[in-house]
């Protein structure tokens, strides 16, 4: 098996992980939540309205404030939706897993021992701003 085939096998293993499955189920629940989807559509519409208003050479600051207030209210409602709360937690868990996987691969590419190297807690995965791994 070559390295690309092994990577595909790793991808399959990832998709069988409980964190991935929980994420996909939460995503599906969000997609099926008509109330949540309506709020998201409203939020996107409000963002477009805000951008259109502030793009005007002489925009109405009261209207901008009103739209901004509604955007914040809608965002708070979206983020407090029960399905969104579950989705956000599942997304964070999956992202953490993928970040750890990427860190291990990067450590190995830099010569670390695959059996003992450990991902750094709190690492963003971006080496461009990093002062070095532990």
Q: Examine the domain organization and report whether 44 and 71 are in the same domain.
A: yes
Q: Examine the domain organization and report whether 40 and 73 are in the same domain.
A: yes
Q: Examine the domain organization and report whether 93 and 57 are in the same domain.
A: no
- Render pLDDT for 15-55 as a digit per residue (tens, 0 to 9): 999 999 999 999 999 999 999 999 999 999 999 999 999 99
Helices and strands (H, E) in the chain, number of each type: 5, 0
Position 125 pLDDT exceeds 90: no
Provide the pLDDT for residue 121: 75
- Residue in 93, 91, 94, 87 with CA at minimum distance from that of residue 36: 87
Q: Examine the domain organization and report whether 76 and 15 are in the same domain.
A: no
**DSSP string over 85-129:** HHHHHHHHHHHHHHHHHHHHHHHHHTT--TTT--PPTT--S-GGG
Residues 6+ apart with CB under 8 A from 30: 36, 37, 83, 84, 87
Q: Examine the domain organization and report whether 29 and 39 are in the same domain.
A: no
Q: What is the reported pTM? A: 0.80
Provide the pLDDT for residue 64: 97
Say if 74 falls within a structural domain.
yes
Structural domain boundaries enclosing 26: 11-33+86-101
Task: Find the distance separating the first CA and the last CA of the chain, reported in whole Å.
Answer: 32
Position with higher pLDDT, 1 vs 98: 98
Question: 134: which DSSP letter?
Answer: -
Provide the pLDDT for residue 126: 58
In three-state secondary structure terms, 55 is coil
Say if 90 falls within a structural domain.
yes
Residues 6+ apart with CB under 8 A from 24: none
């Amino acid at each position: 098996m070559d390295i690309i085939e092994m990577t595909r096998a790793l991808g399959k293993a990832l998709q069988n992980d409980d964190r991935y499955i929980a994420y996909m189920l939460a995503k599906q629940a969000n997609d099926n939540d008509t109330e949540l989807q309506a709020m998201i559509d409203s939020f996107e519409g409000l963002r477009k309205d805000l951008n259109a208003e502030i793009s005007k050479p002489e925009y109405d600051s009261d209207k901008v404030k009103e739209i901004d207030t509604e955007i914040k209210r809608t965002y708070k409602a979206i983020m407090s939706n029960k399905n969104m709360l579950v989705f956000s937690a599942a997304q964070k868990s999956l992202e953490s897993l993928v970040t750890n996987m990427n860190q291990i691969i990067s450590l190995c590419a830099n010569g670390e021992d695959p059996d003992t190297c450990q991902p750094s807690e709190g690492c963003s995965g971006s080496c461009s701003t990093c002062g070095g791994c532990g």
